[in-house]
Amino acid sequence: VKVSATHQPRRNAAGASAQRLRGAYYTPGPLAAAIAAWAVTPTANRVLDPSCGNGILLAAARDRMEELRTPDIASRLYGVEIDTDACRHTQAALALSADQIRQADFFACSLADIGGQPFDAVIGNPPYVRHHLQTADAKLRAAAQARAAGIELNDRADAWAYFCAHALSFLAGRGRLALILPGSVLHADYALPLIHAFGVGSGHSELIRVGERVFPGVLERTILLLIDRSREGAGEVAYREVDDVTGLQRALSASTSAGRRKGRRPAEPAASADVNTRAKMRVAWHLTPAEASAWERVTALDGVSCLGDVARLRIGVVTGANAFFVRTSDELDRLGVDSVPLVARSGWFTGLRWTEQDSARPNRRSALMLIDPGAELSDALTAEIAAAEADKIDQRYHCSKRERWYVLADRDPPDLFLPYMSSTAPAAVINEAEATCTNAIHRVTLHPGIDPEAVAVASWTSLARLSAELFGRSYGGGVLKLELGEAARVQIALLDDARHAIAEVSTVLADGGRKYSGPAARASADQTVLVDGCGASPRDVRRLSQAADRLERKRTTG
Ligand SMILES: C[S@@+](CC[C@H](N)C(=O)[O-])C[C@H]1O[C@@H](n2cnc3c(N)ncnc32)[C@H](O)[C@@H]1O
């Protein structure tokens, strides 16, 4: 990149803090060149750097345009910079006017201030200013611009997040955006609305993590955000990793030529990320590098697999009218109708097993009415059915789909129950009562040869809990929800002989009650299943447990 690098942020004691306040860490030349090579395409008419500093990215864009033989290059480069010195330097170095390199606060700028038309390429290295360094006024302006772009950021968000949001408003319909972001884009909660917006917004979006430290003296990892509005998006942000800037250059030039090949044709939908890529992305997004390595090691151990690989998961029985079908067994006896024991609420579980005694607790609506279509109905039952039809229960969606609305076909008892909505990651419960459940609980039917005790005790480990936190969804009020597909990805470490482990965890739970001895039971499962049984290192297990605690805290405290 041909740019005079004479202008560097001041580095004396006072300067160092001024540098930190403005987030003025300039982009190294090779990285700038790689970004410009990707973002500036042969059809790029106008380029913007919203926080242009010494102009290194704009100089790289100019060099790229020279390579592409773009005519009249000088008229196509635009920048904004809040610092007067840096701004003057860039105007002089690139021989551009104050209209094109504006000395201004980017958050006070709209398209009308910068030529009036959207940009084909937006490139930048926004300031990484910790939120507490920003003034209240600056924050209000920034938040208003993010909101105008449809992105609501909370007041813990750093300056770069607001820059991203506002920069999106400057990008043309088929333009490309490339921003250098800090590692917090992957794991900070405040970044989630942005990630969501990148995923659902028009275009293909991608985050690339650079393994090496790119900015001397800056600890943060570098993540490159790429948005290509000429390609169709997959609905979520793609993620990959490269080792260093050379790896990044290679990755970017591969995607430049891929983009170019497709460029003239109508955009093709990008293949959606497969399950492993998505899992890898979540791990990279939510775990620290040390936790992610522990996760890699533990999930690679013998005996560790996804719940979905050893079992079939189904939702519980959908009756369409629980008040009609789910009764106490006394009521059903009176009606002279068959029944099967049923669990209607995950709150009923107290330990690792659901037994016949649990099912037989009196006065609980824990029996599912099973009307035999061939049998004669008692008068009492006929009257119940008539009353339900008078209340139009037979016309409810699920009931109306049945040949005879009151005859349930699906009532299979599972091997284990899996609660899927709770404030702590769920644990599986062995079904010793041949009971079934309503769709408040998932049904787990094991593949032949899989031991239910091994699955139940494995579901208490930090590995299972962390995977539920990683793959599940956070609902209002701190509730964690696992849809079937997400539950299938819960990682379980299966022991060949789980008797000792399950006895230990059962004892802990019996001592304190499930609600109060959860942490102790989890610690016991971590030791007996992961460390003693599978050979995981205690340190790795501690990391998984800490990560699960942190994600749970984040989820429950917002
Ligand atoms: C990380 S540096 C990057 C500079 C240049 N784009 C590069 O890649 O080397 C961030 C720049 O943003 C500028 N800046 C900080 N707040 C700004 C604001 N509100 N509006 C415009 N520029 C701002 C800083 O002065 C600094 O020069």
Nearest CA to ligand 1 atom 12: 51
pLDDT of residue 263: 34
* Contact residues for 377 (Cβ-Cβ < 8 A; gap 6+): 337, 371, 385
Q: How confident is the model at residue 270 (pLDDT cuts 50, 70, 90)?
A: very low
Here the tokens at position 157 are 């968000």
Helix or strand holding residue 210 (H, E): strand 204-210
d(CA 200, CA 208): 18
Answer whether 82 contacts ligand 1 (Cβ < 6 A).
Answer: yes
Mean pLDDT of the chain, nearest integer: 87
pLDDT of residue 130: 66
**Ligand 1 geometric centre to CA of 101 (Å):** 12
**Ligand 1 geometric centre to CA of 254 (Å):** 29
- Ligand 1 nearest-atom number relative to CA 32: 8
CB 194 within 8 A of CB 177: no
Answer whether 26 contacts ligand 1 (Cβ < 6 A).
Answer: yes
Answer whether 25 contacts ligand 1 (Cβ < 6 A).
Answer: yes
pLDDT of residue 239: 80
**Ligand 1 geometric centre to CA of 81 (Å):** 6
pLDDT of residue 216: 74
| Phi, psi angle pair for 136, to nearest 5° | -60, -40
Nearest CA to ligand 1 atom 16: 22
d(CA 239, CA 223): 10
Answer whether 222 contacts ligand 1 (Cβ < 6 A).
Answer: no
Here the tokens at position 403 are 């040949």
d(CA 202, CA 174): 9
- Ligand 1 nearest-atom number relative to CA 124: 6
Nearest CA to ligand 1 atom 27: 53
- Ligand 1 nearest-atom number relative to CA 105: 20
pLDDT of residue 267: 29
283: nearest Cα among 105, 466, 161: 466
- Each residue's pLDDT tens digit, 395-448: 999 999 999 999 998 889 999 999 999 888 899 999 999 999 999 999 999 999
pTM for the full model? Answer: 0.59
pLDDT of residue 274: 40
172: nearest Cα among 108, 114, 110, 117: 117
Answer whether 540 contacts ligand 1 (Cβ < 6 A).
Answer: no
Percent of the chain clearing pLDDT 70 (strictly above): 87
**Ligand 1 geometric centre to CA of 22 (Å):** 7
- Each residue's pLDDT tens digit, 26-42: 899 999 999 999 999 99
Nearest CA to ligand 1 atom 6: 52
- Each residue's pLDDT tens digit, 492-519: 999 999 999 999 999 998 887 656 688 9
**Ligand 1 geometric centre to CA of 439 (Å):** 53
**Ligand 1 geometric centre to CA of 49 (Å):** 9
Pick from 93-107, 119-133, 221-235: least confident: 119-133
Task: Read off the amino acid at residue 320.
Answer: G
pLDDT of residue 396: 94
CB 165 within 8 A of CB 197: yes
CB 367 within 8 A of CB 344: no
Answer whether 80 contacts ligand 1 (Cβ < 6 A).
Answer: yes
Average pLDDT, integer, range 98-117: 94
**Ligand 1 geometric centre to CA of 162 (Å):** 13
